[in-house]
Amino acid sequence: MPELPEVEIVKRSLEKILTPETIVLHAEVRRPDIRFQIPKNLNAKMQNQRIISIRRRAKYLLFEMRSGFLLNHLGMTGSWRLLAKTPKNAKREKLGPHDHFCLHLSNGEQLVFRDPRRFGMLDFIEPGQELTNLRLKDLGPEPLDQKSFTVDYLFKVSRERRVPVKSFIMNQKIVVGVGNIYASEALFFAGVSPLKKAGRLSLKECAHLVASIGRVLNSAIEQGGSSIRDFVSGDGVVGNYQSQFAVYGRDGQACQHCKARLKSKVIVGRTSFWCPQCQK
């Protein structure tokens, strides 16, 4: 599933495509539901609306218009792609069975949402309700926001928490956007075992963890995200961060730091990878 870096990469690529001059002529809903029911009035809300900006909140994308926000989650296999304006008399690429939503733009282009496994979602938020929306209102701080995701914050919210720290930092109410891949990588660089109880984190370990989460996420964004399966940005570019994984997916291989054999274990339903020597 795309995590924060991948969603941020998609956001940035869409910002290049959907400039402030872009107008949605028509929003074509090609099936009534994906993971959830798509609002029946979606076209009426978006028709002839100018795209003001693209925002990211956690793993959600928000397409801002005067009429409100198109809310999108990529799910496991969701992606956006641009069908450029075709020359006169040339045939445009046909939409496929997994192309569930299409924005017809004023410049003659089409922006298509594809989701083969249909775990993504599309919804509409009325103006001024983005902070109270049921899917957004209980989300934790952004991990790259140094004013809200601080060492003191992480130390405070982890007190008396008995869950493994791996699942703790993947809890979107604690901090958003840190999924399975980047949680494993961040814990490795912080020197913290994924099995350790969150409530036993020291202030020093919290400092290492906050720093390593920021380091890993920023590095992944710089590398275009991780393209393990079928992730591509809005302009079709694949990520390269997977070539730099220190522990994720490397069960049984030698640790890059101490040469110990890396381990893996399912923790709260997700496979975790770590070094038993470097992480305590």
Active-site residues, by number, are 2-3, 59, 270
Q: What is the DSSP string of 131-162?
A: TT-TTTTT----TT-TTTS-HHHHHHHHTT--
Contact assessment for residue 113 and residue 99, using Cβ atoms and an 8 Å cutoff: yes
Beta pairing class for 79-83 and 68-73: unpaired
Q: What is the DSSP string of 22-85?
A: -EEEEEEESSSBSSSBPPTTHHHHHTTEE--EEEEETTEEEEEETTEEEEEE-TTT-EEEEEPP
Instruction: Give 68's strand partners.
Output: 65
The pair of three-digit structure tokens given for residue 211, joined into one six-digit string: 């720093």
The pair of three-digit structure tokens given for residue 201, joined into one six-digit string: 């984190």
Nearest to 196 by CA among 164, 161, 156, 167: 164
Instruction: Give 103's strand partners.
Output: 27, 111
Question: Residue 138, exposed/middle/buried by CB under 10 A (0-12, 13-18, 19+)?
Answer: exposed
Residue 128 falls in which region: left (phi positive, over 0), alpha (psi -120 to 50) or beta: left
